[in-house]
Homo-oligomer: A and B are copies of this chain.
Amino acid sequence: MNELRTIRAKSGTNQEGTSAHNRRVIIEAIRLNGPLSRADLARATRLTKQTISNLVEGLEADGLVASEEVVRGGRGQPSTPYRLVPEGAFALGVQIDRHLTRLVAVDLMGQEVARAVANLPPGGPVEGCKLILRLIETMRADLTRRIPESAHRLAGLGLAMPGPFGLAPSDDETWMMAEWQAFPLVETLAAGTGLATSLQNDATACAAAERMNGSADGLDHAVCIYFGYGIGAGLILGGELYTGSNRNAGEIGMVLFSRGGAPSPLEHRSSLASLFQHLGLDSATTEAYAEVERRTLADDPRILDWLAGAAADMRQAVHMVETIFDPQTVILSGSAPEPLAKRLFDAMFPLIPSNADRPGRTLPRLQLGMIGPWAVALGAAAEPIRRAFDPRFSAILKTAS
């Protein structure tokens, strides 16, 4: 009679959840504001001084925060500010791109402490994963030598690769990573490293990087346009990264734009891939990347051509995401050569008037973010840190018994 019935429900919470949330809130408050005293933290979090004292004591014992010099300067007992301890936690981030992979280690503050890059071997994900596991092994050994505690303080492994995920194989030439998409990447690398592993698309990783250390620091609503080999958007909505029901949210590269003729996907004209094609370069090799940088600095007229068209599409894309997401700001970020990104950014102004043109806004409608080839790997590494230390709804819920 008692068939297995699935009951849809959210988890409840208990005192552990309370305390975990409060610890996270303290860490985030310090991250956002810089060093804060216990009294500051009590005011900011609305908790009592006593509670803050207890929690700070715990965080200090765990090596996540440390006191600074006593600050005098006002009436009353001088305060003791607490700062985050960068060595309190570490995380690894791996970017898997079409032809190469990048690996970084970051600390609790999101600062890079190690990096490595390698070309992906032919042989697809099986060989690729072996290589990645070797790189990780080497980096962990190196880290353990330099910072012995780091071995016990690795929060996890973040992976980032181009989306979209979970689709039926297609013949669209723009991604060519179907093999990787179908491969059990998270399971393989989790098993191979013993680390908590998660996967997101490159645009989301880029937004994570911007949130940790870039233009989206402290913002609750921002769209981070990732301009790389393809184009996508990383979404910060309501203070958290949003990835949709299947991690494919923000794939604006697949949105159909009309430009005179029939509608076609944005990334067919606004992406590094499209530029390589326009220039007749072999796609996405390191040489092509360097060549684009060189020609951009030389003001190659074919680059200027492409820029005009891409900028027109990008203006429309900005208008679209502003209209749809109502963000505080839009960030142009990505892994394009920096001079190219700057020229594209400049060519996007003036922006199309939109709902974002409101009286009294303080942030610019569009700003530049972290640009450069390491943005995605850094964002991938930021993800385990966020998971472990940022205040999130899911962090208070009881997990599977």
Give A residues with C-beta under 8 Å from B. 1-2, 7-15, 17-18, 21-22, 25-26, 28-29, 32-33, 36, 40-41, 43-47, 51, 73-75, 164, 166-168, 218, 220-221, 233, 237-238, 240, 242-252, 254-259, 263, 316, 319-321, 323-328, 352, 354-355, 357-359, 391-393, 396, 398-401
Contacts and interface: CB of A to CB of B under 8 A. Distances in A.
Contact of A7 (B29, B244, B321, B399): B29
A29 B10 CA distance: 7
A45 to B, nearest CB: 4
A212 to B, nearest CB: 15
Nearest to A259: B258
Contacts of A237: 237-238, 242
26 contacts: A7-B29, A7-B36, A8-B33, A9-B25, A9-B45, A10-B45, A10-B391, A12-B25, A18-B18, A46-B398, A46-B401, A167-B358, A237-B237, A238-B238, A248-B355, A249-B325, A251-B323, A252-B323, A254-B354, A255-B324, A256-B320, A257-B258, A258-B259, A320-B320, A324-B324, A393-B393
A358 B246 contact: yes
A332 B393 CA distance: 29
Given A258-B257, A357-B168, A328 B33 contact: no
Given A166-B358, A258-B259, 18 more contacts: A7-B29, A7-B36, A9-B44, A12-B47, A13-B396, A14-B51, A15-B15, A46-B399, A168-B357, A237-B237, A238-B240, A245-B326, A245-B328, A248-B355, A251-B326, A251-B355, A255-B319, A256-B320
Assembly stoichiometry (copies): 2
A237 B241 CA distance: 11
A245 B258 contact: no
A250 B47 contact: no
A21 B25 contact: no
Given A257-B258, A324-B249, A359-B168, A15 B18 contact: yes
> Which 9 pairs, one residue from A and one from B, show the smallest C-beta to C-beta distance?
A244-B326, A258-B258, A9-B29, A9-B44, A393-B393, A7-B44, A221-B245, A12-B47, A249-B326
A9 B22 contact: no
A159 to B, nearest CB: 18
Given A8-B218, A25-B10, A238-B240, A358 B168 contact: yes
Nearest to A393: B393
Contacts of A257: 258
B21 A13 contact: yes
Given A25-B9, A358-B168, A2 B74 contact: yes
A94 to B, nearest CB: 23
Nearest to A319: B256
Given A9-B29, A167-B358, A323 B18 contact: no
A9 B321 CA distance: 27
A247 B75 CA distance: 43
Nearest to A360: B166
Contacts of A32: 8-9
Contacts of A10: 25, 28-29, 45, 391
A358 B321 CA distance: 24
B45 A12 contact: yes
A252 B323 CA distance: 7
A252 to B, nearest CB: 6
Nearest to A169: B359
Contact of A327 (B15, B164, B245, B400): B245
A283 to B, nearest CB: 22
A51 B12 contact: yes
Nearest to A251: B323
A78 to B, nearest CB: 12
